[in-house]
Structure 1
Amino acid sequence: MKKIGLLGLVFLIFIGCEDVVDVDLPEVDSRLFIDAFIRIDESDPTTRVRVNAGLTSSFFDDIPPADLQNIIIVNLDQLNGAGIPSFVTLTQTSPGVYEARENTSFFTSGRLLLSISHEDQDYAALTNYVPAVPIEQLSQGDQTLFSGDETEIVISFVDAPDRQDFYLFDLDFDEYLVTEDLFYPGQRFEFSYFYDDGLDAGQELQVSLMGVDIGFYNYMNQLIVQSGGDQGPFQTPTATVRGNIINVTGVDIDTIDFENIDSLEEVEGIDPENVREGFPLGYFAVSQTFSSSIIIE
């Protein structure tokens, strides 16, 4: 008790000596943020799509929701009875959240175009469905790293042969990891992931493995590094990392080369400033997902 009282006194003295320092932070222009990462479970005949839209603000502020004028996903290679590409219109279910349910087959073949309108600006992104492989085994290990309080989880999977694969792991608790099969093509791969704060006995942990393309792999790799694992890369954009969503205001989408975004600056009728600075943050990706869970011992 005496030790506790002494520590409390020292703490109060420390607080009493603190000065309040006002820091002038730079003004930051608001920017649209779109989280359009769609996870596909092929065992489910339908898929619920959820896209989050927000507006970035100044330092330390929360991201307010964005009120979109329109948001649709078009499958350019699936035509309806009238010969028009099939599309899904997302509706707002809560502030900044847009959802729809559609047949899973809509997302697993063909080129998928995301089209968004916000404050009289048009945005678009093009992607393809990326397959993954199942998690072979998820188990708890007994190794630690530095503090001795970490929890080790061992994950294994078998890489698909005859193709180049990039993977994103959702390790629960807003922790993510990316890997590519450069050194284990077509082979079984096993690795350990350590949770710094440890996990409680009886706690359930869910791990998901998702297939991604090289663009989303690089994008997520940058965000994971910047987030430092504290908030997760989907929480608050920590820097202007350019995704695959571009400003296409005033442009015929059919003329856009999505593989070479910078070429948009040369398109007649487009504002080059919109190409360089008017893009929103975020990414549009559609990934096959396999999940597995484990109870911590």
Structure 2
Amino acid sequence: MKKLMSLIFIFTVLVSCEDVVDVDLPDVDTKLVVDGLIRVDKDQEFVDVRIALRETSIFFEENEPVQAESVVISYGQLNNSGNFDNLSSSSLAEESPGSGIYVPDPNFSSDQRIRTTSAEPGTTFILEITYQGKYYFAQTEYAPTVPLDGVRQGDEVFFGEDQTEVIVSFTDNGDEDNYYVFDFMFGEFLTVEDEFFQGQQFEFSYFYDDKTNPGDEVTISILGATEEFYNYMDLVIEQTGNGGSPFQTPVATARGNIFDITGLDNVTVLDNVDRPNDYALGYFGVVQEYSQTLTIE
């Protein structure tokens, strides 16, 4: 009987430990999240336009894809008066229902794809999104870049034996100040500016930690960047520690260039001085990309 009572007591304690504890979480305002980085490959006829829309969720839940009322990209050359001499537009539609991925509308009455010949230095791109009755606006200038001179594997280690060194080289354009963003896959990015090597070839090492094995292929890309995009990426990398793609989980304190201008009369004022909380997370950029693939030995 004593043994039986002991077992009943133990069972009761274990069951009590499985009681669900309800935690009251604070209400948080959701924000639109825009993955709007468009990479331009000049060897292709058309720009690969893909805009991903999601919305921040409450704690412990993944951000969910959302459906917008409209998504439009406009582009052209601005004159000295700040007006477009010629303005073209591309209407986007959801690639598949519920995906939240927007591409040039294949069912539009005319071809909505953007030709790569339209992406030239001095071309301004505008992204307009209408979502849940709000009007979001972003403006950026096309950012060209230079090709990679070479990518090769090194044999140095920075901290531990599990690291893999890759050595990247490129030659800077000496005619202007340039900014670069490097994509090393696995959500790992690096920002570089040409302050100390303008017009010269520059070589640097990057170290992968526990992400590559012999026989793996890694693709390394150099992206053009405006100064604004460079600063945004520099801040996001600093805050995330390169622990995931800045475009998948944008940092709330890293403000991009996508503003909620619903009801504003002057859309040229994009700093939202009087409305500091009216913006979307993420960034809209149109950048040239060159890539090289390396097989890890």
Relative to the length of structure 1, the TM-score reads 0.83
Q: Distance in 2 between matches of 1:198 and 1:124?
A: 37
* SS of equivalent residue, structure 2 residue 49: strand
Map residues 279-290 of structure 1 onto 2, 5 A cutoff.
Answer: 279-290=279-290
- The structural deviation recorded for 1:236 is 1.3
Matched, 1:97 2:101: yes
Counterpart residue number, 1:129: 142
The ranges of structure 1 where at least 4 consecutive aligned residues each deviate by more than 6 angstroms after the TM superposition are: 19-23
Counterpart residue number, 1:119: 132
Counterpart residue number, 2:43: 43
Contact 1:73 1:88 in 2 (8 A): yes
Q: What is the aligned counterpart of 2:118 among 95, 106, 112?
A: 106
Question: Structure 1 unaligned runs (5+)?
Answer: 1-16, 266-274
Map residues 149-160 of structure 1 onto 2, 5 A cutoff.
Answer: 149-160=162-173
* SS of equivalent residue, structure 1 residue 48: coil
Q: Distance in 2 between matches of 1:182 and 1:84?
A: 35
Q: Percent identity?
A: 40
Higher helix share: 1
Cα deviation code 1:37-59 (max 9, x no counterpart)? 11011121211200000000123
Counterpart residue number, 1:86: 88
The 1:22/1:222 distance shift into structure 2, 3 A limit, reads farther
The 1:148/1:218 distance shift into structure 2, 3 A limit, reads same
How many equivalent residue pairs? 265
Matched, 1:171 2:184: yes
- The structural deviation recorded for 1:249 is 1.0
* SS of equivalent residue, structure 2 residue 195: helix
Contact 1:67 1:118 in 2 (8 A): yes
Between 1:121-130 and 1:53-62, the stretch displaced more is 53-62
Question: Structure 2 unaligned runs (5+)?
Answer: 1-16, 79-84, 105-112
